[in-house]
Amino acid sequence: MRAVDAVIFDLDGVIVESEGIWDAARRDLVARTGGTWRDDATRAMMGMSSPEWARYLRDELGVPLPVEEIGPAVVAEIACRYRERLPLIPGAVEAVRALADHWPLGLASSSNRPIIDLVLAEAGIADRFAATVSSEEVARGKPSPDVYLEAARRLGADPARCVAIEDSTNGIRAAAAAGMTVVAVPNAELPPAEDALALAAAVVDSPGALTPELVRGLG
């Protein structure tokens, strides 16, 4: 059994119940600017980096704005909603604090940098993370492994000795492609595809089940 060097969390769907909020903000922008929402848009954008989903809104959904304006418009709406009420998932903050007592923690998120920093500060757990990475800071979003590999690099950890906590199809695939051991906390509204879920070494029903004993057993 090899030791675990670090634990790397996803943010959306693991720490905050946010997919519906991102969905609503993007839908609102599409509607306000005269674009057309598609039934598969929500699932298509899961895991995309900010530049990727901004291009998707423009090219696929017809938002008539420059890409560099689309992302900030959506992010401003998300930040406003989070300041009103942060949708923390029960047990997530406690899990972060418990695991931080045993391993360096990283965060590999598709959210923009301002949103990552806002959530962690509002939740009171910013100091528990040794490294945080937004997929806008790497070349490709999930399911490519870039954001997880960068998180491991910033932690000084071997990806093969990292445990990743993920909820979505693209997130699980990204962490697995980085060579990490994956714990899946399936998203209830948009559950992972079965072939993605099969990549996980363990599946738990809530962040509250993310205990040091579970992680240690995956080493």
Alpha carbons 89 and 16: distance in angstroms, whole number: 5
59-76: per-residue pLDDT in tens? Answer: 999 999 999 999 999 999
**33 to 30, 65, 142, 192: CA distances (angstroms):** 5, 8, 27, 31
At 54, give phi and psi (nearest 5°): -65, -40
pLDDT for the residue 50: 85
Domains belonging to the chain, first-starting first, are 6-17+87-217 (3.40.50.1000), 19-84 (1.10.150)
> Considering the entire predicted model, what is its pTM?
0.89
Q: Read off the tokens for 106.
A: 């990283």
pLDDT for the residue 49: 83
- Residues that are catalytic: 10, 12
